[in-house]
Structure 1
Amino acid sequence: MGVSNNITAVLNFIALLCSIPIIASGIWLASKPDNQCIHLFRWPVVILGVLILLVSLCGFLGAYWYKETLLAFYLCCMAILIALLLILLILAFVVTKPDGSYGVPGRGYREYRLDGFSSWLKDHVVDSKSWNKIRACLAETDVCPRLTQEYVTADQFFVAHISPLQSGCCKPPTVCGYNYVNPTLWLNPVNPTADPDCFLWNNDQSQLCYNCNSCKAGLLGNLRNEWRKANIILIVTVVVLIWVYVIACSAFKNAQTEDLFRRYKQGWT
């Protein structure tokens, strides 16, 4: 029984370590300008990581001190947390699968169409009720002002690999034919009727294209890229957690069997 509990303690310590990349991924996502303005996606990964850390600590202490109640609590809670993490991963993978980006001839960056993203993201992230708050939040960030510091000439800007958020919110769509002055200042559109966003562009630095559909699409493009990167770490971590959990269940079952056999043997003698 002692050997089984030692194995369980080691496994719970590994599970505790697995919570660190989950928390780190959540903090990385939460630190991004787009996620700072969208509370729905900001903290769920961090919260799950912290809960896994606490539950793993309970399991480690239960195994170290031979507390079967703590071990049973650990196994029950960890199963729920792994299930929640799997649901979050599947949801993130499904809703970020559609890609609304398209290439623009002669440009290093891509542009984005709102229709190219999943209906779930459009309904829950950039719906009309929440967009006013998100737009105001984005206008207060340095996402667009940073472009004027990094790029001076049109040639530099046109070959730049700017983020989806910058592509959609900080400049008008290329099809409008605006003339470049600097990354956030454009004049005299050649084809102002080519896209409804052409009429929404405003050189006021607090307005720009924050009211445009291209800005909403750029925000979703940013979310897609960030969650796709985070998913790689989360998938590896959840596989390790499942492996640890299965072995911990087996070790806990063996410990109970050995304890039952020991009691039976003592009663027999």
Structure 2
Amino acid sequence: MMRTSNHLIGLLNFVTFLLSIPILGGGIWLSSRANNTDCLKFLQWPLIVIGAAIMVVSLAGFAGACYRNTFLMWVYLFVMFFVIAALIGFIIFAYAVTDKGSGRSLTNKGYKDYYLQDYSGWLKDRVADNGYWRKIASCVRDSKACQKIGRSVNGVPETADMFYSRKLNSIQSGCCKPPTECGYSYVNETVWTTGAGFSGTSTDCTLWSNDQQQLCYSCNSCRAGLLASIRKSWRKVSVVNIVVLIILVIFYVIGCAAFRNNRRIDNDEPYGEARMTKSHPSAFQL
């Protein structure tokens, strides 16, 4: 009976180790996004730490099950409880800071426009801070997202109608072109003129520049586009984390039951041996 419980605990810990891989992978993916486009480089570290902690703790639990080390098993269950609690906290935090905000659909446009006032919460306040935004804007500029926006057909630059039908991502729409409400006239993907159609009253309309080092990197639309990109990234990772969390909780409950069963058997063994010695003394005596 105890051997079966140990095998079960060992199997659960091995599967838990495997479940730490997608969590760690999600953190690494967010890290790559932070280095390329999302540019908030501190957000992925809690997930990386949680994934690494689950990996290390599950290995300790696996060793404890294999070698019937009660102390290691106790440490595994104790630490895993707090790791699961941390994962729950991270998921709640991820949804809380990305619970509101999305792009606004436009008539006869394939892309959306993004407005900072559509977002709220701690993350919005973070990017709204001018001192902090300067660092993020520099990262977005260095990612060359706007340089990659250009297209041509048979060597001929795309027309305005072709551009308007494109599905730009939130960074490209918010940072690489002026807001549609400003009424700028299209020249190419990152060059626009005021023309006769200029009618915008938003501060973003005056912040737009055809200087390829400026564009709309100082605009609120760029900040909103960044928030939309982060929201999309976090929601993808959170779906995986929720599935892993449910499995971890189930395995943790099973592991606790198996551990208690081992402890009960360990406590009962001396009494069982005493009864067997009394009934069949020759079995325990030379």
Q: Same fold (TM over 0.5)?
A: yes
2:14 aligned with 1:13? yes
Between 1:256-265 and 1:214-223, the stretch displaced more is 256-265
Partner of residue 240 from structure 2, selected from 218, 226, 233:
233
Matched residue SS, 1:40? coil
Tell me the equivalent position of 2:37. 34
**What is the rounded CA distance, in whole Å, between the counterparts of 1:71 and 1:156 in structure 2?**
62
Partner of residue 124 from structure 1, selected from 100, 123, 126:
126
Question: What amino acid does structure 1 have at the position aligned with 2:256?
Answer: C
Partner of residue 160 from structure 2, selected from 139, 147, 154:
154
2:111 aligned with 1:109? yes
2:206 aligned with 1:199? yes
**What is the rounded CA distance, in whole Å, between the counterparts of 1:84 and 1:52 in structure 2?**
11
CA drift at 1:236: 0.5
Tell me the equivalent position of 1:22. 23
Partner of residue 258 from structure 2, selected from 220, 228, 251:
251
Tell me the equivalent position of 1:93. 95
2:147 aligned with 1:142? no
Contact 1:38 1:125 in 2 (8 A): no
- CA offsets per residue over residues 143-170 of structure 1, 9 Å max, x none? 1111014773222221111111111111
Higher relative CO (Cα under 8 Å, sequence separation at least 6) belongs to 1
- CA offsets per residue over residues 168-203 of structure 1, 9 Å max, x none? 111100011111121111112522543110000011
Between 1:209-218 and 1:40-49, the stretch displaced more is 40-49
**What is the rounded CA distance, in whole Å, between the counterparts of 2:240 and 2:18 in structure 1?**
13
Contact 1:34 1:223 in 2 (8 A): no
Identity over aligned pairs, percent: 42
| TM-score after normalising by structure 1 | 0.95
2:175 aligned with 1:173? no
2:205 aligned with 1:223? no
Gaps of 5+ in 2: 278-286
Contact 1:100 1:115 in 2 (8 A): no
Question: What amino acid does structure 2 have at the position aligned with 1:200?
Answer: L
CA drift at 1:91: 1.2
CA drift at 1:264: 3.0
RMSD: 1.6
Contact 2:183 2:200 in 1 (8 A): no
**What is the rounded CA distance, in whole Å, between the counterparts of 1:245 and 1:191 in structure 2?**
62
CA drift at 1:126: 3.8
CA drift at 1:82: 0.6
- CA offsets per residue over residues 15-50 of structure 1, 9 Å max, x none? 111111111211222111233x21221322122111
Matched residue SS, 1:39? coil
**What is the rounded CA distance, in whole Å, between the counterparts of 1:206 and 1:105 in structure 2?**
29
Question: What amino acid does structure 1 have at the position aligned with 2:210?
Answer: N
CA drift at 1:125: 3.8
CA drift at 1:77: 1.0
**What is the rounded CA distance, in whole Å, between the counterparts of 1:166 and 1:153 in structure 2?**
17
Matched residue SS, 2:42? helix
Matches within 5 A, 1:48-59: 48-59=50-61
